[in-house]
A and B are shown apart, each in its own frame.
Chain A
Amino acid sequence: DTAVSQTPKYLVTQMGNDKSIKCEQNLGHDTMYWYKQDSKKFLKIMFSYNNKELIINETVPNRFSPKSPDKAHLNLHINSLELGDSAVYFCASSPRLHEQYFGPGTRLTVT
């Protein structure tokens, strides 16, 4: 019954590796997002997709690439991981303007 789910919950990997985080929502929402929350808990939007189309692409290194195979899924692929990529990544979805529902987060640790 989880509305917005992410896998994995924890991800520990070494610098230089490539990893993916998956997100799925079963709410029928049209819009999905990726946020990064740093160690100071600051939340920053990275990407937004509406019906599989990219609509927000903030200043994010091109090592980060979102992929939306369908409107219920938005995955985040990260190439050549760096220490500074360590953070909690949240997926969110939205049924309409001004409402967002967040997933439980994926804690990424790069060593």
Chain B
Amino acid sequence: QQQVKQSPQSLIVQKGGISIINCAYENTAFDYFPWYQQFPGKGPALLIAIRPDVSEKKEGRFTISFNKSAKQFSLHIMDSQPGDSATYFCAASIEGTGNQFYFGTGTSLTVIP
């Protein structure tokens, strides 16, 4: 059972464009929603994270939008660059459960120069 559903599976964006990756969850007990970025041959690295008490968090060109009522959250990459080409994972976790993360299935982003 996939606790966090992620789409699209792959995404191709022109340089300078906006990349949008979506995730949805069912368990309303989730209280932390991070996004991880993974380059080929590397481990995932935390990119940005949000808690459900805010609707948006922005760090540089990366923004998380969070819709608690719809149980959805998304990652927006503004002014996408070729260096952003990577696999992106959303995740969710519940405090008090041993810090167990439930990851989405990943989105392979390719930014074309």
B43 at the interface (CB under 8 A from A): yes
Nearest residue, chain A, Cβ from B95 = A97
| Chain A 70-107 interface mask (CB, 8 Å, partner B; 1/0) | 00000000000000000000101010011111111100
Q: How far is the CA of A97 from the CA of B105 in the complex (A)?
A: 22
* Interchain nearest-CB distance for A32 vs B (Å): 11
A97 near B103 with CB under 8 A, answer no
A31 touches B43 (CB 8 A): no
User: In the bound complex, do residue B89 and residue A100 qualify as a contact, i.e. CB atoms below 8 Å apart?
Assistant: no
| Chain B interface helix/strand/loop/mixed | strand
Please state if A90 and B44 are interface contacts (CB–CB under 8 Å): yes
B95 and A42 contacting across the interface, CB-CB below 8 Å: no
In the complex, the answer to whether B46 meets A99 with C-beta atoms within 8 Å is: yes
Segment touching B, from A12-20, A48-56, A61-69: A48-56
The A-contacting residues of B in range 37-84, CB under 8 angstroms, are 38, 41-46, 49
Q: B interface, how many residues as a size bin? A: 20 to 34
Given contacts A41-B87, A43-B89, A104-B42, contact A98 B106 (CB under 8 A): no
Query: How many residues on the A side are at the interface (Cβ–Cβ under 8 A)?
Result: 24
Query: B45, A102: Cβ atoms under 8 Å?
Result: yes
A99–B99 alpha-carbon span in the complex (Å) = 8
Option from B46, B95, B101 in Cβ contact (under 8 Å) with A45: B101
Encode contact with A along B78-113: 1 for CB under 8 Å, 0 otherwise: 000000000101000101001111010110100000
Q: Give Cα A44–Cα B101 distance, bound, in whole angstroms.
A: 9
Chain A interface (Cβ < 8 Å from any Cβ of B): 4, 31, 40-45, 48, 50, 55-56, 90, 92, 94, 97-105
Which B residues have a C-beta under 8 Å from some C-beta of A? 32, 34, 36, 38, 41-46, 49, 87, 89, 93, 95, 98-101, 103, 105-106, 108
